[in-house]
Chain A
Amino acid sequence: MGRPQFEAVVASAAREYMELVDLSTGINNNTAGTTVINHYAPDGFIGKVMGLYIHKNGVAGATSGTHVLEFGYPALTRASGKSNFGDTIRYVFSNWDSATVKQSPPTGQTQANVLNDLEFDKTNPFYIAIRNDANVADIQTVVIKAMIKYRQIAE
């Protein structure tokens, strides 16, 4: 009886893992001011946004105007929520839970579809923009948390 032959099995499958990424950001947007957050994947990985939670309070001290938050890709908005100056903007459960002036896409199902193919890589980021069109400066911390799946595509 010969010795058993063992063959090393080298894992060749691409690495894939999930990570909760906190993109919460302090903003100080004057009237007509904008803050932009771009999140890029590591080299050799594709990032996919599996879940997203955003909470932005109304503009403290404002008496008129609106504020808006959008996300997607630079120069290609996939979703946006606009509220009156005193109202919250909140995105949760793949929907605009609060956006009192305008929600884009306009319905729950299309809003959910936005996340289904929201991927990014090392050069094309996951993009979030926060704009203030109220009549005073908007100073606060916007809570942004994303569950991201990173999938390796190259060594």
Chain B
Amino acid sequence: MASLREVCTGGFVEAASGLEAIEQLALGPTALMVLDLNMPDMHGLEVLRFVRAHQAYRALPIVVLTTRGDETSRTAAAAAGASLFQTKPFTPHALAGQIRQLLEASAGQVRP
């Protein structure tokens, strides 16, 4: 978590469910989304599809968390527009590295 704070200079918000994640998009500018596929209300893929259907968020970097060996979800998420994948379990450092990479790539496109 510490390294996540360090990367996300604009602050980050934790969402406990798919609807909350989408709510965050409505509440303010978002630079990046880390999405778990298993959530209580909506499946992560549904969130991903909803977000990508939305023109304003087509370029929003989205890291999707998948489980080792779950190739099906990974393919589906790739088709639905995931930017990068992180296989669980992972170290915060690995995720932070990916986030940094995506934020740098999208710098200038989205305000962090």
Q: Do A and B come from one complex?
A: no
